[in-house]
Amino acid sequence: MYFCAQIKNFMREGFSGERSIVLPKMVVDMEEADPLTSSLYITDIGYYPTAHTHYVRRDKTIDQHVLIYCVNGSGFYEVGGQHYDLHANEYCILPANQPHQYGASKDDAWTIYWIHFKGPHADMYAQGAGQPQRIAPNINSRISERNNIFEEIFFTIADGYSRESLRYASSCLHYYLASMRYLQQFRGAKHKGQQAEYTSSTIDATIHYMKENMEKTITLRQLANYTGYSPSYFSMLFKQQTGSSPLVYLNLLRIQAACYWLEQTDMKINQICHKVGIDDQYYFSRLFHQNMGMSPKEWRRQQNTSSK
């Protein structure tokens, strides 16, 4: 049996670039009955970029845990009579069967990945995550890889509700939650038994930082502060080693990532621009055309044509 996933793209009533899937009850029942997915499974999943006015209050409890992973901006949540602020590079897991509320900051609206999940193993991943948990970028961080796991889960579910798709999404969810729950092991596993992918040089570390913060607005001063140099000296050092200024190089990374999402997914242009840290779709299109010689839409069409 195969069901087509219903993806909510709230372009008028929601947030620009928003994506979400709410699994029908019949599909959730299928997950709960399946011997593989029943241990841990998704009921809802989504991504809200720069979610101004986002606010949820649940006085009537739900039987799912709610993961909120903030990658930019800030917000808050309240559960168990406690108020918490949630900032960029932090996540929390709201426990099932407890009233709660959460929302974006009025002055610095958050960008969040979120998942509702349940199953006998859910409590193990939620343990200790009622308070904000920090996932700060560093030379060994794998934030971009984690976000790609989320996308793999999302697009697997979006592709349909076959048993195989649900089982694969459930398996990926274990990995995704484990990458947070066992953060040090996730970061360390990449480098054990092999030479580290990233060296400790200043420029390599800076480029890694750019990739790990792709969805954020990054300034020259932020990059310079990260390295400990003045902006002028850092810019000179970066250009000497790469041939480009830091911000030009960052934009090239953004366009490279955009090309991947254009070719590998059916995400809308306004959704992709948020994924690469650009809130203005028109600026994104101009930047893409400047670097690729054509609009994002034309580039996608060309790739689709050449692959046939």
Task: From 154, 189, 224, give the residue that closes a domain.
Answer: 189
Number of domains comprising the chain? 2
pLDDT tens profile 12-27: 346 688 999 999 999 9
Q: Are residues 47 and 152 in the same domain?
A: yes
The answer as to whether 195 is a domain residue is: no
Spatial separation of the C-alpha atoms in residues 38 and 24, rounded to whole Å:
16
Residues 126-156 have pLDDT tens digits of: 999 999 999 988 888 899 999 999 999 999 9
The CATH code of the domain that includes 244 is: 1.10.10.60
Band of residue 307 on the pLDDT scale cut at 50, 70, 90? low
Read off the pLDDT of residues 59-111 as tens digits, 9 standing for 90 and up: 999 999 999 999 999 999 999 999 999 999 999 999 999 999 999 999 999 99
Pair 135, 109: CB distance under 8 Å: no
**What range defines the domain where residue 267 resides?**
202-306
Residues 79 and 100 in one domain: yes
Within-domain flag for 114: yes
Query: Average pLDDT over the chain, rounded to whole?
Result: 90
Q: Is residue 308 over pLDDT 70?
A: no
pLDDT value of residue 194: 43
- Euclidean distance between the first and the last CA atom of the chain, given in angstroms as a whole number: 29
**pLDDT tens digits, one per residue of 287-297:** 999 999 999 99
Confidence band of 305 (pLDDT split at 50, 70, 90): confident
1 found inside a domain: no
**What pLDDT score does 201 carry?**
86
Same domain? 137 vs 24? yes
Residue 45 near residue 8, CB atoms below 8 Å: no
Percent over 70 (pLDDT), the chain: 91
In this structure, is residue 194 part of a structural domain? no
Tell me, yes or no, whether 221 lies in a domain: yes
Q: Are residues 32 and 100 located together in one domain of the fold?
A: yes
User: Which stretches does DSSP call E strand in 88-235?
Assistant: 90-94, 100-104, 111-118, 133-134
Q: Is residue 306 very low, low, confident or very high in pLDDT (cuts 50, 70, 90)?
A: low
158 and 234 belong to one structural domain = no
User: Of 162, 189, 216, which residue is a domain's last?
Assistant: 189
Instruction: Tell me, yes or no, whether 61 lies in a domain.
Output: yes
CA dihedral 135, 206, 258, 248 (to 10 degrees): 150
Average pLDDT over residues 214-235: 92
3-class DSSP state of 172: helix
Q: Does one domain contain both 46 and 181?
A: yes
pLDDT tops 60 at residue 32: yes
Residue 152 lies in a domain: yes
21 and 170 both lie in a single domain: yes
Model pLDDT, residue 9: 38
The answer to whether residue 197 sits within a structural domain is no
Task: Say how far apart CA 215 and CA 48 lie, in whole Å.
Answer: 12
Q: Verify that 24 and 159 share a domain, yes or no.
A: yes
Identify whether residues 120 and 253 lie together within a single domain. no
Q: Give pLDDT, residue 10.
A: 33
Find the CATH number of the domain harbouring 92.
Answer: 2.60.120.280
User: Tell me, what's the pLDDT at 4?
Assistant: 43
Residue 35 has pLDDT above 80, yes or no: yes
The domain boundary, picked from 189, 223, 255, lies at 189
Are 48 and 171 in the same domain?
yes
Place of tokens 């010689």: 293
pLDDT at 7: 41
Residue 24 and residue 125 share a domain: yes
Tell me, yes or no, if the pTM score tops 0.75: yes
| Cα–Cα distance measured from residue 177 to residue 156, given in angstroms and rounded to the nearest whole number | 17
Neighbours of 60 (CB within 10 A): 6
93 and 30 part of one domain: yes
How many Å apart are CA 39 and CA 35, to the nearest integer? 8
Residue 213 structure tokens: 């913060």
Give the pLDDT score at 139.
82
What is the C-alpha separation between 245 and 210, in angstroms, rounded?
Answer: 13
Determine the pLDDT at residue 199: 40
